[in-house]
Amino acid sequence: MNGPHRSEGAHDFEGAHGNAHGAADGRRDDEEPGEHREGGTGGHRGRTGSGGHRGPAGSGGRFGPPGGAAAGAGRSGAVPGPRIPTPRTSVEDSGLPLPARADLGDLAPVPPLDLSHDVLKSLLGAWALTACSAAETAAVEEHLGGCGACADEARRLREAVGLLHQPESLDLDPGLRTRVLESCLRRRPPRIPVPDWAAPYDAETARLDALLQDFRDAEWRAPVELRWFENDLPAGRRTTVAGVIAHLLAVDGLIAAALGLADPLARAAGPAGPAGAGAAGPAGRTEVYWRSAHLPPAHAVRGAWREQSHALVRTVSFTGGRTGGLPVSYGEFTLPLHDAMLDRAFECWVHAEDIAKAVDYPYAVPAPRHLHRMIDLAARVLPTVLAERRRAGLSEPARHTPHLVPAGAPGRSLRLEIEGDAGGEWLIPLDSPAARGSAELEVARLVLDGAEFCKLAAGHVSPEDAAAG
């Protein structure tokens, strides 16, 4: 009916249909997509020649509350609802079927731009990086089909982009330094060679120094957990990366003092210096140095540690290796210099792994020939460690050998087999440090990986975990 107002039935149908359908897309059924009716032409108007009057706000289902079309629809005296859009409803929640894919129509293709050859050539770099717009990409690819020079350039650029995203690590091979030095030394032997027993210390300090060279303040302050076993119980100490380097500096000072070099604790220790009570061993020296240094220790400690390690290697090299038997006191025990240098190389590697773990960086095991020397030192020290455990009441002599066997006599032995390139076999006397290992009196056999055995010796793995592994 074309009267001044729509009929009630028409409004009832439109309101019901608009609440279910029109509220979902924000328009009435007779609106075209993209048409936005507001103001004097919004809502739906009465069909008079002059445009009539604006109908109720809820009649189109756009601005009125739910059900507003049915309540007083078409009544000129009705109060318009609030002009606040209702929440848009998802078409999946309306219960209506989704439109077919064919009804959506085909997307219009992006027409290529009409660009000159020079402009298209300048876009090749951005195209290789997939940084062009769709229109630019279409124009470049159309041009590449007919220009051989630009096609070759585009191929080279795409290959170069592939080099920017290498999946493998860009870090240098840890063994590169060793291989380069060996190659150089084969061509030209050093005028002053480093003794074989000092080579592991030289290599491990160089590897740790390479790890530290790019550290910033955050890395130097990263927390590090030092771990060991004391009386069969796990022990530990929390410090920083700088604190670990200070520990290495203080303990390496034992060798420096034995060689007549400057002791890093000479100025720091004062009356409680290395000769004082409690400061003769590694733990006492470390505590003295930590108390005397700034807390947390500054990253400048790397320079002092690096200079001292270079001085130690230079000094033993200039002596021609004749100082290998020089005694180095650790407070409670003494080691010859060649074993003390191996001990320091071993600890340098162990603490370098602690540092690498603290900064989440991979760290490889030492070279096999160096690792073999460290394992050999630990195997030779084992009888003394077992004797100390007996004195401390942590272990008992065997029932069949209640007394220690004489020095040099064969005794019960443990066969230690280390697997890997650094491996080997050792017979460890169990009844006396001075006893001789005997295959005939072998009572046990222990097989471990080289790195696992070193972690056990360093106190990073408990004996139970090592046996279970």
pLDDT tens for 287-344 read: 888 887 554 456 688 999 999 999 999 999 998 778 888 999 998 889 999 999 999 9
Rounded to 5 degrees, what are φ and ψ at 240?
-120, 175
Confidence bin at 50 (pLDDT 50/70/90) = very low
331 and 429 inside one domain = no
Q: What is the pLDDT of residue 75?
A: 44
In the chain, the amino acid numbered 100 is A
Rg for the chain, CA atoms, rounded: 42
Rounded to 5 degrees, what are φ and ψ at 51?
95, -10
Q: Which of 122, 120, 125 is nearest to 141 (CA)?
A: 120
Reduced to 3 states, what is the DSSP secondary structure of residue 98?
A: coil
201 and 347 inside one domain = yes
Q: In this structure, what DSSP letter does residue 38 have?
A: -
154 and 257 inside one domain = no
Angle between helices 337-358 and 368-391 (to 10 degrees): 100
317 and 456 inside one domain = no
Confidence bin at 269 (pLDDT 50/70/90) = low
- Give 54's strand partners: 45
Any idea how long the chain is? 469
Give the long-range contacts of residues 416-420, CB within 8 A, separation 24 or more.
416/379, 416/382, 416/446, 416/448, 416/453, 417/445, 417/446, 417/447, 417/448, 418/375, 418/447, 418/448, 418/449, 418/450, 418/453, 419/447, 419/448, 419/449, 419/450, 420/368, 420/449, 420/450, 420/451
Is 108 within the bounds of a domain? no
Domain limits for position 451: 380-468
60 and 140 inside one domain = no
Is 187 within the bounds of a domain? no
Q: What is the pLDDT of residue 298?
A: 61
Is 14 within the bounds of a domain? yes
92 and 158 inside one domain = no
Q: Which of 412, 426, 421, 411 is nearest to 457 (CA)?
A: 426
Tokens 């075209």 belong to: 32
291 and 157 inside one domain = no
Q: Does residue 418 surpass a pLDDT of 80?
A: yes
- CA 257 to CA 280: how far, in whole Å? 11
Tokens 């210099």 belong to: 337
269-278, 425-434, 445-454: which has the minimum mean pLDDT? 269-278
155 and 82 inside one domain = no
Rounded to an integer, the average pLDDT of 188-202 is 88
Is 107 within the bounds of a domain? no
Range 428-445 burial, b when 16+ CB lie within 10 A, else e:
bbbbbbbbebbeebeeee
SS3 content of the chain, % helix, strand, coil (to 5): 45, 10, 45
Q: State the CATH number of the domain containing residue 246.
A: 1.20.120.450
243 and 386 inside one domain = no
Is 175 within the bounds of a domain? no
Q: Does residue 30 surpass a pLDDT of 80?
A: no
Is 418 within the bounds of a domain? yes
68 and 1 inside one domain = yes
Reduced to 3 states, what is the DSSP secondary structure of residue 385?
A: helix
Q: What is the pLDDT of residue 310?
A: 95
Rounded to an integer, the average pLDDT of 16-29 is 42
326 and 216 inside one domain = yes
Q: Does residue 466 surpass a pLDDT of 90?
A: no
54 and 127 inside one domain = no
Cα dist from 179 to 183, 271, 447, whole Å: 6, 47, 30
Structural domain total, the chain = 4
Alpha helix stretches (DSSP H) within 104-214: 117-122, 124-128, 134-144, 148-163, 176-187, 199-212
DSSP states along 118-140: HHHHHTHHHHHTT-S-HHHHHHH
Rounded to an integer, the average pLDDT of 251-257 is 94
Is 177 within the bounds of a domain? no
Is 109 within the bounds of a domain? no
Q: What is the pLDDT of residue 293?
A: 59
